[in-house]
Chain A
Amino acid sequence: MVFSSKLIEEAVNEIAKLPGIGQKTALRLVLHLLKQDENFTTSLTDSLLKLRRDIQYCRHCHYISDEPECNICQNKSRDRSLICVVESSQDVIAIENTNQYRGLYHILGGVISPMEGVSPADLNIESLLNRLPESEVKEIILALSPTMEGDTTAFYLTKRLKTFAIKITSIARGIPIGSELEYADEITLGRSILTRTNYE
């Protein structure tokens, strides 16, 4: 793309680095900012700077937080005997939105993949193991993506958690609610037949 101004070009290139935003959208955003009051841009950049500078990760579960301890870990009404292990903060938000879970979380920060250079040391695995002694935790729920890397990570965690007398479970996999059976892929359908549940 050719720009009449070096300043616009720089701004567009920076914004276009964001996920899901291409050059055209970036240009639209830049031109939009120029049309607004200067205050609009300053408050936007201030809030972003502050976000970057002040954001913290919970020292227990690594969830995004304004304080050293996140609001979920602080919440006295949460069930401290349950830890749900997830890949990312987005996964916590997704599970929280279900209103079905009242336990604690632990965010790994990814899944193991040697080919992509992600080893267990790059993930928050040691900190999970360190949380367990002298805690009330009775069950760990593995809520990782049902991909090959997710499965490997789950298997590895199970191995590492064996030394603790804690129940390890995994979220169920099967047919999405409201979907039609005939459109389900064979692997999911096959698996949901094998791991069928009692009808209640």
Chain B
Amino acid sequence: MVLYLKDLNLYNFKNYEDLKLEFSAGINCFLGDNGSGKTNLLDAVFYLSMSKSYFNSIDNQNIRHGEEMFVVQGNFETADKKHHVLCGVQTGQKKTFKLDKKIYERISDHIGKFPVVMIAPNDIALIYEGSEERRKFFDSLISQIDNPYLLDLMQYNHYLKQRNTLLKQFAEHNRIDRDLLAAYDEPILRLGAKIFARRQTFMLEFQPIFQGHYETISQYKEQTQLVYDSDCAVAEFSEVFRQNTNKDLALQRTTLGVHRDDFEFKIDNYSLKKFGSQGQQKSFLIALKLAHFEIVRQNKNLKPILLLDDIFDKLDEKRMSCLMQMVADHTFGQIFVTDARPERTQQIFAQIEGDKKFFNLQNGQIRNE
């Protein structure tokens, strides 16, 4: 099924005061110098899909300097329906998120309705940073295809915060209430077991798709491994968790559970971070994103919108041509691309058939289309 963003309207979002854009259902290129706000446009599209920024998790900091609020709105079109999505952020107030003029009671209900996949230079953090980055990546992916999972996750995190606060309070007051602790153990174990099971089945589905993409991109037959590593992967985790209570009390935090899960990236059973070449790492990241695209497409029967940030500079020719071949084959639906070098982009896309639109940006304005 077709999904595309028809238009976008920004008000005081990042460097944009007031901007209205109409898009092509095919390829859209944002061209302009560094600092002209190309990536901000991708982020605005990301906002409408995921209700938050890809780059800055603090909503307030996406308001234009010196202003009080921003509004991002746009119209999505699917096969037969049109949907208006609006996100408004005002300092000191709750974020408003609306679908077809109706405010969401739970913004998380929106996730997965209009899926996007972003490929950006800072994705490298997935390899180099701690386990939190990888959990975020997979959680956001699973949430797009399984909305109740997101709700379980949010509840788990809430109970976890309460439990950790409680552990600190026990230490402060030098008093332990085991019954009260048990009241948090129960939901943490129950939700944790659900999250663990979902991540497990997800990885089984994801791994072969990922391997396929990796082979296509790297053109080598190296065997990749995405190893899901969890405290919960033992028989009778509840028992282990409860036996660990004294350690939790001593350290004043919950030391076991799905909040510590990691996803190890390996090639031929060696750590990608330590032993992978730059090329292997780049291929790995692109394959992750393409597998993300593919799994959402299969599950939702909908091609996610693809957001490509600055990939021409960051990808080498081999991987680039592989990606462009997929574009030419119409593997993807709507695509947004940023590039600081207009001639290059125009040249690359000149060979590709289909509807295209170029936007030249300067100081938060469109110069010409």
Contacts and interface: CB of A to CB of B under 8 A. Distances in A.
Contacts of A152: 159, 162, 183-184, 187
B151 interface: yes
B155 interface: yes
B180 A112 contact: yes
Contacts of B179: 156, 159-160
B161 A159 contact: no
B182 A115 contact: no
B169 interface: yes
Given A115-B161, A115-B162, A155-B186, A120 B155 contact: no
B183 A148 contact: no
A176 interface: no
Interface in B160-186: 161-163, 165-166, 169, 177, 179-180, 182-184, 186
B148 interface: yes
A78 B105 CA distance: 39
B166 A114 contact: yes
A186 interface: yes
Contacts of A115: 161-162, 165
Contacts of A156: 179-180, 182-183
A98 to B, nearest CB: 25
B158 interface: yes
Contacts of A151: 187
A160 B180 CA distance: 9
Contact of B180 (A120, A148, A186): A120
A150 to B, nearest CB: 11
Of the listed residues A114, A120, A155, A187, the one surrounded by the most CB atoms of chain B closer than 10 A to its CB is A114
Interface string A146-158: 0010011101100
A164 to B, nearest CB: 14
B169 A148 contact: no
B318 to A, nearest CB: 45
Contacts of B182: 155-156, 159
Interface residues of A, number: 17
Given A119-B169, A148-B187, A152-B187, A114 B148 contact: no
A119 B183 CA distance: 12
A155 B162 CA distance: 15
B343 to A, nearest CB: 50
B198 to A, nearest CB: 16
Best-buried of A112, A153, A156, A185 by chain B (most CB within 10 Å): A156
Contact of A159 (B159, B162, B163, B183): B183
B163 to A, nearest CB: 8
B159 A148 contact: yes
A187 B186 CA distance: 19
Contacts of B180: 112, 119-120, 156
A159 B183 CA distance: 8
A148 B157 CA distance: 11
A113 interface: yes
Nearest to A157: B183
Given A148-B159, A152-B162, A112 B183 contact: yes
Contacts of A114: 162-163, 165-166, 169
Nearest to B167: A114
Nearest to B169: A114
A186 B166 contact: no
A124 B162 CA distance: 20
Contacts of A120: 177, 180
Contact of A113 (B162, B186, B187): B162
A151 B184 CA distance: 10
Contacts of A148: 155, 158-159, 162, 187
A187 B151 contact: yes
Contacts of B148: 186-187
A144 to B, nearest CB: 12
Interface string A112-150: 111100011000000000000000000000000000100
Nearest to B184: A152
A129 B162 CA distance: 25
A113 B162 CA distance: 7
A108 to B, nearest CB: 14
A155 B188 CA distance: 13
Interface of A: 112-115, 119-120, 148, 151-153, 155-156, 159-160, 185-187
Given A114-B165, A148-B162, A155-B187, 15 more contacts: A112-B180, A114-B162, A115-B161, A119-B180, A148-B155, A148-B158, A152-B183, A152-B184, A153-B183, A155-B183, A156-B179, A156-B180, A156-B182, A159-B179, A160-B179
19 contacts: A113-B162, A114-B166, A114-B169, A115-B161, A115-B162, A115-B165, A119-B177, A119-B180, A120-B177, A148-B162, A148-B187, A151-B187, A152-B159, A152-B187, A153-B183, A155-B183, A155-B186, A155-B187, A156-B180
State the 8 A-B residue pairs at the shortest beta-carbon distance, nearest first: A114-B165, A156-B183, A114-B166, A159-B179, A155-B183, A152-B183, A115-B165, A114-B162
